[in-house]
A and B are shown apart, each in its own frame.
Chain A
């Protein structure tokens, strides 16, 4: 009966020894290679520090102008440009300018890193079913594992600050771009590919001139999702010392400062909406142009 009532687990001592040995092994690893790994990321850190300083020190009217121009280039829509300007002015008026710039800095760098890693990986995945079978479960883990779990090893290895924050953000934000790049390329019509082959396209030409262009709407949906998920990680990243809108949110949460939390939360939402609309509109425009060209 006892066998059924209580799950026959490994027992406290064995479990403890297993946990201890894993921790010990990781600590050894961190002692041995931590400094080297940190050194590897140093250029990225200096770039991020420089970029954040650039954004926070630039005159605010110039920054608003740049954001408005980017919104116009992306969306070509007057309402979105006006919305962008109003949001950033409101953020400034409510005293959240510096935190917002710090957040924009880390989110932009994170997005570029994620795109730079994610699109090539997605392309590779679309070429090989075996790689897809290996990478897909890894992506599932990255998206569902509670972020605090991987924060521990990241902090032990790299300490607190921008680089560990960036890694934490990317672990969560990179899966959609990989998935959608893979999906987009796989969804390209077999007949179109056959036609390309019939015209004697090389492997490279097929990829660069047929598959990627046709997959662009999907890839753009991935970029959009990656930006959204990176923004969702702002508060978590602040828990390991990343400056930005997450810090006041944390302060508000532990002190029940309703207004402070709401204001900074809404600033994150405003950033999300702007990034979302601009990148979506840009994706749509890409699609429209293509559809028009083919007369569909």
Chain B
């Protein structure tokens, strides 16, 4: 028992000494959302905060809505590195106005967005398909497995923020009458699996997806232009994203809003330099895409990818942190 306690004390001392050089930052919890780019970002943030600013970071796994609810009500986790804000728009705006949450970075990833996708070869084989409006006239190209007389449009898994939007746009474009069924893939694994299986076989496929993702790059999927403009924001938030939407209008997918959100207690209690880091941290689309393909090809988790990124993309991340922090981080990688 005694030995055990001593062991802990020694370990604690060692950590304390290794961090002695930097200002105390304290305990920080970061949400590690359950998709690749968010896992990667959470781990990059973890390493940078721990090594560069001396924070003690704990990652908390979660999904968009659950994590946000916990941040909003309990103030834990402190940081959501990649929060897709449209799913939680109303309560988020309220929390931002009340000052219990803070927006640190309204565009942490360049070129990110959601939409409807088809494989690149579908567009190549059928050059007449230019927009969603053209595709929805051709359900015969995308036959549903369960009822081959209908076309299958693979929507969002049950419970995701986008499920409602897909269902409403499906109605707005009158797709049921045109001979489509809306397929619920059930989960992220189901959605990825359905798309990967179709593309590996060379079948045509039409469904919802988003970028930046390794799937989009690896399978060479193309996001299709909707052929109609974005409806006004008011209709989008009050009708298309809602379950009770009597008369959804045709619309393109709204430009995506991703934000890095932190709690008020993080702003107050932790190193202000660490908070400033989040404001500068913008992943270029190319670096993000490369890391996601790396994760997919090597079956790497967020932590492996974060280390790989910090080692090979110094030019990207060093401007985000101060010189002192950058040196500490580089030292820790070796």
Contact = CB atoms under 8 A, between A and B. Distances in A.
Contacts of B200: 27, 30-31, 156
Contacts of A253: 159
B66 A34 contact: no
Given A34-B201, A159-B193, A239 B65 contact: no
A155 B193 CA distance: 6
Interface footprint category on A = 35 or more
Given A45-B145, A49-B147, A162-B146, A239 B197 contact: no
A235 to B, nearest CB: 10
Interface of B: 63, 65-66, 69, 145-147, 157-160, 163, 183-187, 189-190, 193-194, 196-198, 200-201, 297-299, 304
A290 B145 CA distance: 48
A254 B299 contact: no
A282 B299 CA distance: 50
Main secondary structure of the interface of A (DSSP, over half): helix
A252 B298 CA distance: 34
Contacts, number: 97
A94 interface: no
B197 A241 contact: no
15 contacts: A34-B201, A148-B189, A151-B193, A152-B189, A155-B193, A157-B197, A238-B186, A239-B190, A240-B187, A241-B185, A243-B184, A250-B157, A252-B159, A254-B158, A255-B159
A44 to B, nearest CB: 12
A160 interface: yes
B203 to A, nearest CB: 9
B316 to A, nearest CB: 23
Given A159-B197, A242-B186, A251-B163, 5 more contacts: A159-B145, A241-B185, A254-B63, A255-B65, A256-B65
Nearest to A31: B200
Nearest to A153: B193
B158 A240 contact: no
Given A155-B190, A256-B69, A247 B146 contact: no
Interface in A149-182: 151-152, 155-162
A209 interface: no
A288 interface: no
A37 to B, nearest CB: 12
Contacts of B198: 159
